[in-house]
Chain A
Amino acid sequence: MNANEKVCIIIPAYNEGTVIGSVLDALPRSVKIGKQVLPITTIVVNDGSADNTSTEVTKRPWAVLIDHIMNSGAGAATRTGLSYARQHGFTAAITMDADGQHHPDDAAKLINEILKSEADLIIGTRFKDTSGMPARRIIGTRGLNLITFFLFGVWVSDVQSGMKAFSRRAIEAIHIRSNNFAFCSEIIWMAHVQKLRISEVPIKVIYTTYSLSKGQLGQTDIVAGMRFLRQLLKQRFMRSING
């Protein structure tokens, strides 16, 4: 680790006006690595929200706001955040959800891990402790883990986790194309293809009625699963044809 390290937290947000303020306030603004204190830049990618998400972010001048002109999906918002991190020379980036389900301490934990360890991509896994997690979500996510494994040959315990840490190498190498929730698997696939080192770190998840109402697995799981499979197959197919 050197003195030029730049760290950011990327938060894709869509209609999260009720919670985004508290999520931003709770996030660490610096992290201590050894004797060094590194500032953390928080980047919120507002994915064309129709509510006051954008206003809530602008009330906090330390956060960078990128407004998507139109709603494009969580994958597109994450891609924009990673692109911003690439352009501005960030050496490590964390992605996390805007609905308040991720613990702020875990963000600092993942930053520490990505800067100290040899890993290029760290996935914050919710599956070391599944207490409080609805059974249907456990089954659904495990099903998606299996789909990802069979399609891309890489196994992780929580493919849909929104909390991930990227090293500079990963920020440079991972270019996702999925606009929707298939981007989580695509990130892991791309890391595998680029021979990046992938590791997992357990994280805590705060389940509230609000956070449970969000996310694709809260809806009709079979339909969401089929849609997810179709998106991954499309990515796999199109990457083979169009490169």
Chain B
Amino acid sequence: MDKYALLITLNLPFIFFGIIKAWAMYKKRIVNRFGLLLRLLFWLVIAAGLIFDREIYNFLVAHHLTDSVPLSLADVVLTTGVIFSLFLCMRIYTKLDLLERRVDELHERLSIRLSSKS
């Protein structure tokens, strides 16, 4: 199978899912129109990158931006992207934990206060 086609096949479902999710959030009024536009823009930029991956890659190769000895620009971008994703995951995970703790605390205080009133 063509590697470019494989790249699109593997990643396109994520983009579809992202767009559908953004649309659902807009319909449920979780995000406003601006939020929807931002999300759509984000996923469409990724989709464009995927669709034109052959052209982009040819451009990078032609300009020696993927030379991997000692480190290519593509390597730098890729590694930075991975690290940034890990950073985001970590940040979200810790924020979720803090939020969970606050909800637990709220639940506990509410339960005690309501019980003492009854």
Contact = CB atoms under 8 A, between A and B. Distances in A.
A83 B108 contact: yes
Contact of A68 (B97, B101, B111): B111
B94 interface: yes
A interface residue count range (under 10 / 10 to 19 / 20 to 34 / 35 or more)? 20 to 34
Contact of B108 (A64, A76, A242): A76
Nearest to B109: A83
Given A69-B107, A179-B104, A242-B101, 7 more contacts: A65-B115, A66-B111, A66-B115, A67-B111, A76-B104, A80-B108, A241-B94
A190 to B, nearest CB: 15
A238 B108 contact: no
Contact of A80 (B94, B97, B98, B111): B111
A83 B114 CA distance: 14
A79 interface: yes
B110 interface: yes
Interface residues of B, number: 12
A2 interface: no
Contact of B104 (A64, A72, A238): A72
Interface string A208-243: 000000000000000000000000000000100110
Nearest to A68: B111
Given A65-B115, A83-B112, A87-B112, A76 B107 contact: yes
B41 to A, nearest CB: 32
A152 interface: no
Nearest to A83: B108
A84 interface: yes
A69 B104 contact: no
A210 to B, nearest CB: 26
**Taking chain A's interface residues, is the majority helix, strand, or loop, or is none over half, making it mixed?**
mixed
B112 A177 contact: no
A168 to B, nearest CB: 19
Contact of A242 (B94, B110, B112): B94
Interface string B88-118: 0000001001100100100110111011000
A78 to B, nearest CB: 11
Contacts of A65: 115
Given A80-B112, A83-B112, A68 B94 contact: no
Given A69-B110, A76-B107, A64 B115 contact: yes
Contacts of A45: 111
Contacts of B112: 66, 80, 83-84, 87
Interface in B59-102: 94, 97-98, 101
A87 B101 CA distance: 19
Q: Which of B97, B108, B111 has the most CB of A within 10 A?
A: B111
A72 B107 contact: yes
A59 to B, nearest CB: 15
B94 A238 contact: yes
A37 interface: no
Contacts of B97: 238, 241-242
